[in-house]
Structure 1
Amino acid sequence: MTARPTDLSRRRVLRPGAVAAVALPLAACSTGNYEEPDPLAPLLAAADADAAAARKLASGEGGDVAAQIADARAAHAAALKPEVDRLNRPKPAASTAPAAGPADVAGFKDRLAAVRQQAEDLVPGLPAYRAGLAASVAAGCAALQRVSPSIGGGEDAKPIAAPSGKLPDEAVDPLQKALAAEHAALWVYGLVSAFLSAEFGNALKSGRAEHTARRDVLIQAITAASATPVAPEAAYVPAKPVTDGPSAASVVATAEADCAAAWLGVVTHTDDAGVRGLALQALVAAARRGTPWRQQAAEKPVAIALPGQHS
């Protein structure tokens, strides 16, 4: 049901930065002494190599796709380098250094998939801030995989399942914020259906289905923790009016970005591996869904380099 303008909530959640309450915490100031190489160092080295290779390809046959890869991977390197330099751990052995960046754009198909998996594998065991960096890099690679068939499309997120065991107390509040973002996204998917042609039917159906499943899992998990799940607003106010296809695509992309930010907040506010796994997959899914909607809305960049982080 469409609410009248006077019924709309003043809670403007559908805009960048709407979930600032779960922003990444500041990195620790101490450097510490470590004997083992930094697990983030290979991600940094790969990002540097990919950015350099893609930049060369962008000036030739690689064109816009290569340029987008170059910009995103350079952003990954810029985010990772201060953290790697801060700890100043021993350098990885030469035998473990990543191969040079791909020689053509098609080579980034396997490269992005490999880096994404490498980053995802690090998330469960890292301290909160570093887990957030790795998760955001993984989601950024996942978003890039949907820029063009030549480098994609990559696998979607794993099946949705509630974390097993008792929900940690520190996870309840960020999961409530994620639930609020899922409620808003579902409202948006209902809103835009009147402005999009039939060719978007499958995208709307699948997006609605996945957000519904994540909402239901969150309600189940929060209720099991003896907390009351946050309820949806009666309606939400998009940051920009929805009047046609491109503006409808833009508000969906914004809703997905808000979900990414909320789920990244979950990653960085708990050490529980099960909850982090749920949040990581939701973050990746939001990043992947957001890319084609941004493309349809002619937004730049098409793929957000570090989904969930505030620009």
Structure 2
Amino acid sequence: MTARPTNLSRRAVLRLGALGGAVAAALPLAACSGAKDDSPDPLAALLAMAEADAAAARKLAADGPAGQVADARAAQAAALKAEVDRLNRPKKDTAPAPGPTSLGGFKDRLAAARQQAESLVPTLPAYRAGLVAAVAAGCAGLQRVSPELGPGADAKAVSALPGSAAKDAVDSLQKALAAEHASLWVYGLVTAFLPGDFGEALKAGRAEHTARRDALTQMISAASATPVAPEAAYVPPKPVTDTASAAALVASAEADTSAAWQAVVTHTDDAGLRGMALQALIAAARRGTPWRQEAGAKPTAVALPGQPA
């Protein structure tokens, strides 16, 4: 029987539901533990750097690449501050080095912020891990806005993990697999609407999505579950008629993929699985930036990939 086409926008509902559950689950644990943590907040240094970057970029320009850095880093700082203020742990001197005085100076700065965020993800509670993973992916995506900012390092290669690592996150892995299936379908659809000079980007995107699809299929099977199958067709949010609309659809698919992988980060305590999901989230964010740029989307880079807008 032919599968019924599925509207890609339904994932937005799933994302909100998954995030709400993760936050709700995290709060009672903290409240019931009765133990007060007097150590400095590990997010404080990440927050201080984001605030300094936003201020420095704003001095350079209100628009263009510098303006995008300022807006994105300000959004990251606001999200981090809300979480730091929520726990209200002891403060310490976390003043970072002064922000860059030129756009090119943000190349190393964004790379450092990404590295700092990546190193924290395996050690944090679920909700915080998801937020910090989004910050890492946002910095990685920003580096593709302008040659002066990057291009930045690509995400690490994907590899399947043992089934035992996946058992606590099968549902979120199934959603990630569904997103990978949909993305591969999108990459196939848009080929007819994009000129030949997009060939390398399409080839690279399909290769990455195929590798992650295959790894997910192997992991879910190893966890004694049946991997979700691709649907026969998917309904794009908007008709695809030209280069801009094709690029917008690919960007939308990468955003859905980002959300699915960010949910994996928040649904497992396994460091290996979190690391794999983090790299997949970073990869989707980095692929999404040039497609958003081609589609004329504003901003070009998403500040917190995978997080609800």
TM-score by length of 2: 0.93
1:102 aligns with 2:100: yes
Give 1:14 shift: 4.9
| Superposed counterparts of 1:71-220, under 5 Å | 71-92=71-92, 94=93, 96-164=94-162, 166-220=164-218
1:282 aligns with 2:280: yes
Q: State how many pairs are aligned.
A: 300
Q: Distance in 2 between matches of 1:81 and 1:73?
A: 12
Give 1:15 shift: 6.8
Q: Distance in 1 between matches of 2:260 and 2:212?
A: 13
Give 1:10 shift: 3.7
The answer to whether the 8 A contact 2:163-2:222 is kept is no
The answer to whether the 8 A contact 1:18-1:258 is kept is no
Q: Distance in 2 between matches of 1:15 and 1:252?
A: 16
Q: Distance in 2 between matches of 1:255 and 1:231?
A: 17
Give 1:16 shift: 6.8
Give CA deviations for 1:253-295 in whole Å, capped at 9, x if unaligned: 0000000000000000110111101100000000000000000
Q: Could you tell me which residue of structure 1 aligns to residue 8 of structure 2? A: 13
Paired-residue identity, %: 67
The answer to whether the 8 A contact 1:287-1:304 is kept is yes
The answer to whether the 8 A contact 1:9-1:237 is kept is no
The answer to whether the 8 A contact 2:162-2:222 is kept is no
Once structures 1 and 2 are overlaid, which stretch shifts more, 154-163 or 216-225? 154-163
The AA in structure 1 aligned to 2:77 is A
Structure 2 SS opposite 1:185: helix
The answer to whether the 8 A contact 1:37-1:91 is kept is yes
Candidates 25, 36, 40, aligned match of 2:39: 36
The AA in structure 2 aligned to 1:23 is L
The AA in structure 1 aligned to 2:66 is A
The answer to whether the 8 A contact 1:19-1:258 is kept is no
Q: Distance in 2 between matches of 1:102 and 1:155?
A: 20
Q: Could you tell me which residue of structure 2 aligns to residue 52 of structure 1? A: 55
Candidates 275, 293, 296, aligned match of 2:294: 296
The AA in structure 2 aligned to 1:57 is L
Give 1:167 shift: 2.8
Q: Distance in 2 between matches of 1:187 and 1:107?
A: 39
Q: Distance in 1 between matches of 2:208 and 2:14?
A: 20
Give 1:165 shift: 5.8
Q: Could you tell me which residue of structure 1 aligns to residue 308 of structure 2? A: 310
Q: Distance in 2 between matches of 1:243 and 1:15?
A: 22
Q: Which protein has the bigger helix share?
A: 2
TM-score by length of 1: 0.92
The answer to whether the 8 A contact 2:248-2:292 is kept is yes
The answer to whether the 8 A contact 1:266-1:276 is kept is yes
The answer to whether the 8 A contact 1:47-1:77 is kept is yes
Q: Which runs of 5+ in 2 are unaligned?
A: none
1:264 aligns with 2:259: no
The AA in structure 1 aligned to 2:80 is L
- 1:216–1:168 distance in 2 versus 1, CA, 3 Å: closer
Give 1:36 shift: 1.5
Q: Could you tell me which residue of structure 2 aligns to residue 222 of structure 1? A: 220
The AA in structure 2 aligned to 1:298 is G
- 1:259–1:43 distance in 2 versus 1, CA, 3 Å: same
- 1:156–1:19 distance in 2 versus 1, CA, 3 Å: farther
Q: Distance in 1 between matches of 2:276 and 2:133?
A: 12
Q: Distance in 2 between matches of 1:309 and 1:178?
A: 15
The answer to whether the 8 A contact 1:14-1:251 is kept is no
Give 1:205 shift: 0.2
Structure 2 SS opposite 1:303: coil
- 1:201–1:292 distance in 2 versus 1, CA, 3 Å: same
The answer to whether the 8 A contact 2:163-2:219 is kept is no
